[in-house]
Amino acid sequence: MKRNLIFLLLAILNCVLISAQAGNVGVNTPNPGSKFTVNGSFAAAYSSVATSGPVGADDYYIAYSSGSNGTLTLPAAINGLGNFIGRTYHFKNTGTANFSVAANGSELIDNQSGAGVASINVPPGYYAFFISKGLTTGTTWELILLSSSDSLPAAASTYAFSTVSTTTRQTMPATTGPYIATEIVYPQGMVVNTGNALNTSTGRFTAPTNGYYMFYGSTQFDNGSLPGNPAFSFALLYLIKNFSTTPNNVLVQSYQNNPGSLVGTNVSCITYLNAGETISMAAVAAVASGTTYQIVVSSLYGYKIAN
C-alpha cells in the first residue's frame, strides 16, 4: 500500500512540475524567470449576468448579457490588511442594452481625461478592463482599456438628431470687413432629437458624453426675396466647435466664390467632443449691395459613432 502511494505521488509530480528558484514560483517550468511563471494554459473565473449587482472577490471575467440597462459595481477599497492593489476585472457587454461599470460609493475611476468619473458606460459589443490602484479615496480604479469587438458601435443608436429643413428665411448680417459668422437656427423643429442634444433656438448641438461624433449640414444662400436680389461676392458655410467661446474654431468649411444670388452648399465632418462641448453650423457672406443676406432650406443631422 505504501509503495502504491509513493508511485501515485511520483506520477502526479511527473505530470505537473512546480518549482521555485530565487524567490520565483513556476508551474511546468524548472527555471521560472518571474515571480510567477506558468508554462501552459491559464484559467480564471467566468460568469454571465443579466442584472445589476456587485462585483466580488471571486469574479474575474463578467459577461453582461441583458436586454435591459444595468450597473455592475466594483468592490469598495480596503485600507490596510486586505488591500487588493493590482486586482483586475474584465467585462464584456454581450447583450443588447447599455450597462455601466461603477466605482463604489464616492470612489472614482481614472479614465485619463480629468479628475475621474463615477462610472464607465460599456455599450453592446464593448469590452472593458479595470485594475485597482490600491488607493482608498479618489480614483481607486483605473480604466486600462475600453474597446469594441466591431470597428464602431451601431451609429444610429447613440444620440441621433436631425432637424426639420427650414422653410422660413433667416436674415443675417453681411460681411463688409472682418468676417461676421452667424449661427444657423432651426425654427421648424426636429425630426429626432435624442436627449434634446440640439437646441433649435441657438442651433447648437451639445455632446451628452465624450466620444466621436459625425455631423452633416446644408443650406441655401438665397437673396431672391431681398430688394434687388443682390449677388453674393462669396458665401461660406462652416461647422464650428464651441462657438460661444471660440467662434473662429472652424472644423470644416465650404467656400463659394461669386455664386450669383442663389447657391446651395454643404459641410460634414467627424470630430471628438468632450461632454458639454458644442457644434453649430454657421454662415458668412458678402453681397454686392445692401447689408444683409438670407439663407433657407437649412438642415443639420448627426450622431455619436464611437467612444
Residue 156, pLDDT score: 44
Please provide the average confidence, as pLDDT, over all residues in the chain: 89
Residue 9, pLDDT score: 45
* Ranges for all domains in the chain classified under CATH 2.60.120.40: 156-306
Q: Tens of pLDDT along 185-200?
A: 999 999 999 999 999 9
Assign a CATH topology to domain 45-148.
Answer: Jelly Rolls (2.60.120)
For residues 155 and 204, the model is more confident at 204
- Read off the pLDDT of each residue in 203-231 and give the average, rounded to a whole number: 95
What confidence tier does 129 reach under pLDDT thresholds 50, 70, 90? very high
Residue 2, pLDDT score: 47
Q: What is the pTM of this model?
A: 0.52
- Architecture category of domain 156-306 in CATH: Sandwich (2.60)
pLDDT at 149 over 80: no
Residue 31, pLDDT score: 80
- Residue 68 CB partners (closer than 8 Å, separation 6+): 50, 97
pLDDT at 67 over 90: yes
Residue 104, pLDDT score: 96
Neighbours of 104 (CB within 10 A): 15
